[in-house]
Amino acid sequence: MSDYSLTTFGEGGELTMVRNALTAVRNGETTVAIRAKNGVVIAAEKKLPTALIDETSIHKIGALSDYMGVTYSGIGPDFQAVLMKMRKDIQAYHARYLDRMTPFMAAKGLAELFQEYTQSGGVRPFGIGVIVAGYSEEDGPQIY
C-alpha cells in the first residue's frame, strides 16, 4: 500500500492525506471577511514566493456571481477547480429555479463536495480553506 492512499493512517491515528490538506491550509496566506449592515468585504494576503511569478496570474478572490464571492487559503489550483464547480452549480440552480442561490446554499454545496472528496477513493481532499460571502434578499449579508 502506498503512502498516498486515502486510508493510510499516521502515527497519531489521523489520516495522512487529511493532515496534508490541513497543513496546506495552515501554510497558506491569511484571508478574512467582514460583514456590515449593507454588505460584505473580503480581503486576502497575496505573498509571492519568488519574483519570477507574475503577480497578475495569482487570484486569491473570485466572483461566483454578481452578489457572491469567495476567497481561499491553501493550494491555488484546488481553488481554481472549486471556483469553476461553484460557478457552474450557481448557474445550474438559476437555470432550474429562475432564482438566486443563497450564500448558505452555495457554502452547503461546497461543504458536501469537500466531504465527498475526503471519503472517496481515487481523489485527494482539497488543500484549501474557503470563505464564501454574499448577499441574500431574505437574510442580508452573509459569511460562511
- Angle made by CA atoms 115, 130, 13, in degrees to the nearest 5: 45
Query: C-alpha cell of 27?
Result: 501554510
Total-model pTM:
0.86
pLDDT tens for residues 115-137? Answer: 998 888 788 899 999 999 999 99
Per the CB < 8 A criterion, the answer to whether 75 and 60 are in contact is: no
pLDDT tens for residues 18-30? Answer: 888 889 989 989 9
DSSP 54-117: -GGG--SEEEEETTEEEEEEE-HHHHHHHHHHHHHHHHHHHHHHSSPPPHHHHHHHHHHHHHHH
CATH class of the 16-143 domain in this structure: alpha beta
